[in-house]
Structure formats: C-alpha cells, structure tokens
Amino acid sequence: MDFTLTPEQQAFRERTRAWLKANIPAEWKAIGSTEVPRPEAYVFLRKWQKKMHEGGLIGATWPKEYGGQGLTFVEEMILHEEMALQKAPPMLNVLGVGMAGPTIIAYGTEEQKKRFPEKILTCEEIWCQGYSEPNAGSDLAGLQTRAVKDGDYYVINGQKVWTSLAHMADWMMLLARTDPEAPKHKGITYFLLDMHLPGVTVKPLKQITGDAEFNEVFFDNVRVHERHVLGGVNNGWAVGLTTLMYERLALGFGLQMRLRIALESLIEMARRVEKTGRTITKDPVMRQKIAQLWMDTEALKYTGARAITKLLKGELPGPEASTGKMGWVETHQKLQELAMEIEGAYSQLMKGSERAIDGGVWQYGFLRSRANSIEGGTTEVQKNIIGERVLGLPKG
C-alpha cells in the first residue's frame, strides 16, 4: 500500500495545478455553479473544455494517436482532484469524454477511432446517450426503437427519452433493435448517430429545476450508414454495457470532484450562516452532520482508489467498484439536503431574490440532485446488481 506518487506523477500534479491556477477565468466565479453544466454557461464551458484540451489535461487515459495523453488512471485521478481543489468549471462534453470516447476506442474500427475521439476532447462535437425509452428505463434491454437494414443504410424509427444534452448534441450513442426475433439482449445494435440527420427531432423536457436539460428524441425514418455501427451488428448490448462501465468508472472521478467542490462550498456557507443566534459551524448537531459528510466523501474517494488499484494491476474490479455510484448518490443527496438545512427559511428563496443566499445556487443543486438516484441506473437497480452479481443472491 503506497499513496505516494512517482516523480512523474508528482510533476503531472504540479503542472496541472499551475495550469488551472493560471487559466480558470475570473468570469467563472460569476456564473459558477458546482453542479452539472447549466444552459447559461454552455458557451463558456465549450471554450473552457477546448482550452483544457489544448493544455493537455483532457483524455489522460486515451491513447496519444486518438488525441489523448496515453497516461494511467492515476493521472486521471490527479486531474480530477486538482480540478476540485481549484474549483474548476465542469466539462461540458461529459458524456462524450466519459462514455462515447472510451467505448469507440475499445470497439471502434480504425476509421471510427480516427474520426471521433479527438473531436470529443476538443468539444468540437458534443455527445448524448440514446439509451432510455418511455418503456425501457431500468429494463433497458426492453428497448423498442427499430433499425431496419436498407442497402448500406439502417432506417431508424422510435423514441428516446431523458436524453441529456440532446438539444445541443452533434452525435448520439444510440441503442436500437436490429433483430426483433432474437432474445431481447441479443438483437440490439450500437450506432453512432449524427443528430443533424433528417428525421431527428429533439423536444426539450422541462424538469423540476425549471431547466430543460433532458429531452425527448424522435426518429422518423432516419437513415444511418452502416459504417456507423459500433462493435458489430446485434452486439449492442455488450458494447452498451462497456459504456456503462466507463460511465461508472470515468464519470466517477468527475462526480468525486463535484462532491468535493460542493462540500467545500457548503462548509464555507456554514461559516457565515447563523441559526438561532449562533454560527452553523458552532452548532454541535450541525458539526456532526458536516463531519459525517466529510467522512462519507473521503470513504468514496478511497473506495474508488481501491478499484483503480485493481485496474492498474490488471485485475477485475471487486465489490468496491460496484458500490461507487450508489454511494455517491446517497452522499450527494445528503449534502444537498444539508445545504437546505443550513439555509433554513432562506432555502425557500430562488435565484432572482436579492435575499437568496449565494444567489440561490444551492436551490438548483438541491432540486437537481433528486435525479441522481434515477439517472444512470436507479438506486433500486444498482442494489439488484450488487445483490446478484457481487453477493451472488438469486434473481427474483
């Protein structure tokens, strides 16, 4: 067991820190929310990601020939730690960097690997994920969007829902059914879908936050060339699961970062907010709650580090890897609840009120956090997966 970094890794940390210090713009402080990218920050965030890529910070683990740095998960972790410490803006193309890119690198043809990954890193092309449907959420393999072969093309018809970033995405990771006769896991194909093709319609869904970050996406005879099949026809389930594994792993670093930034901000707020005549940080009950959050955040970090260690040694991740998403969700929702508790009556005031604490930024985060235990696999499904695949309990 050794947490010390090699001289090269230490140098990477110092270089990353110096770059972030020098390059995080002052304007971010004004727009800055620690949460997921919000519409008013899109233009800024697109520029920011491009700049980070030029600084050599994005795509640490991707091969150099596809625009990455050819480094290990340790550097990836260092990057996210430093982004947290410097309160850096989030990555806009988070689904592309965390999911589409790694899956294309794992399954893509040489042509696909040359075509897509680098534009993901530079934020030139934004990606969304077309998995969930109105009747296929947790039961993803029940998806009904059809892809029918027609010459060199597949004709897509159907609908996706809860599609984050679809309203601005250039490409979609699309799962569609190519063989309706096969058992439901076997007849699915993974497509790289150009969102600008005729027949693609995106309708924003207004969420409980008031923002429209999710969308419905409709496909009406959309013609996708067969060179945009990823990982083979009817092999989409395996490819799609790889994406989900990357989602949980790679996004895990980002989630970890957001949690840490949010925790620091929460503590900072607790130092200046009063409750029944004394500062929150002097209240013994609130001290307990904040300390517990600190511990939970640290526990997630080290549980993640154990999973990475196994990956670095070429072993399969153990039980510690599967618990990350669920643990993060619980901790993040607890954090957002605590932020409301710290604000007390002020928690009712939204952005726009001069009385709102911190410009009402916590209210958005609190509402948004309710989606955490649903998106990317509900907590209930996660618990089934842990129960069955890790603990070996029988299926229901």
Could you list the residues that contact other proteins (CB under 8 A)? 1-5, 9, 74, 77, 267, 270, 281, 284, 287-288, 290-292, 294-296, 298-300, 302-303, 305-306, 308-310, 312-313, 319-320, 323, 326-327, 380, 382-384, 386-388, 390-396
Among 16, 62, 40, CA closest to 212: 40
Nearer to other proteins, 205 or 245 (CB): 245
Which of 135, 288 has the CB closer to other proteins? 288
Strand partners, 127: 171
Distances (CA, A) of 60 to 9, 57, 217: 12, 6, 32
Q: How far is the CB of 290 from other proteins (least distance, A)?
A: 6
What is the chain's alpha carbon radius of gyration, rounded to the nearest angstrom?
A: 22
User: Which residue among 82, 125, 247, 320 is the active-site one?
Assistant: 247
Positive or negative, the CA dihedral 241, 255, 299, 375 is negative
Would you say 196 or 395 has its CB closer to other proteins?
A: 395
User: Using the 8-state DSSP alphabet, how is residue 146 labeled?
Assistant: E
Shortest Cβ distance from residue 270 to other proteins (Å)? Answer: 8
Give min distance, CB of 238 to other proteins, in A. Answer: 24
Verify whether residue 247 is a known catalytic residue.
Answer: yes
Tokens 């985060």 belong to residue: 365
Please enumerate in sequence order all residues whose Cβ is within 8 A of that of 87, keeping only pairs 6 or more positions apart, or say none: 24, 32, 34, 261, 264
- Secondary structure of residue 201 in the 3-state scheme: strand
Q: Which of 179, 171, 175 is nearest to 190 (CA)?
A: 175
CB closer to other proteins, 195 vs 286: 286
197/291 with CB nearer other proteins: 291
Q: How far is the CB of 80 from other proteins (least distance, A)?
A: 13
Tell me the C-alpha distance between 355 and 273, whole Å: 13
Task: Quote the least distance from Cβ 370 to other proteins, whole Å.
Answer: 19
Active-site annotation, residues: 247
